[in-house]
């Protein structure tokens, strides 16, 4: 119902934000799954899975994160111009994405080191970091869609 009264100029930034958020969640889940799968089994297969996880993180997660964050800032500037008070659900999104950028960067660095050789202990941290970020993204997803307290 609320979408019916939204100005048409908000459609593109909101679409880009939601598209980026969906791709960010999916790419983070993929990196986590590949990372967990790469912890066990044949060393050659494990390295291949970790390399695939690193590539998905670099070529899908990073652009999706940038798209999500740019779309979020664009729509926030349109919806709450100037020094307007932002609602709590919007603050949750910024609280998740700003430290999330550091987490994604750390995850990619560790994934790069982990994809270099078979016996790397660093690779064990990547799926756990991705899982932690998935939980944070889920909280932001709930806050953005349910808008509790509004």
Tens-digit pLDDT profile for residues 109-145: 999 988 887 667 888 999 999 999 999 999 999 999 8
Cα distance between residue 31 and residue 14, in whole Å: 25
Question: Of 83, 111, 117, 94, which is closest to residue 21 (Cα–Cα)?
Answer: 94
- What pLDDT, on the 0 to 100 scale, is given for residue 28? 97
Whether the model clears a pTM of 0.85, i.e. scores above it, the answer is: yes
Cα angle 13-26-39, degrees, rounded to a multiple of 5: 150
Domain boundaries, the chain: 9-146
């Amino acid at each position: 119902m609320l979408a019916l009264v939204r100005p048409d100029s908000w459609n593109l930034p909101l679409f880009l934000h939601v598209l980026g958020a969906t791709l960010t969640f999916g790419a983070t889940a993929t990196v986590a799954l590949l990372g967990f799968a790469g912890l066990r089994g044949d060393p050659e297969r494990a390295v291949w899975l970790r390399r695939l996880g690193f590539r998905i993180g670099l070529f899908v997660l990073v652009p999706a994160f940038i798209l999500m964050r740019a779309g979020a800032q664009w729509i926030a500037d349109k919806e709450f111009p100037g020094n307007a008070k932002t609602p709590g659900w919007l603050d949750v999104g910024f609280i998740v994405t700003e430290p999330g950028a550091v987490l994604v960067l750390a995850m990619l660095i560790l994934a790069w080191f982990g994809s270099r050789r078979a016996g790397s202990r660093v690779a064990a941290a990547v799926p756990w970091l991705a899982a932690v970020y998935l939980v944070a993204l889920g909280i932001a997803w709930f806050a953005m869609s349910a808008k509790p307290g509004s």
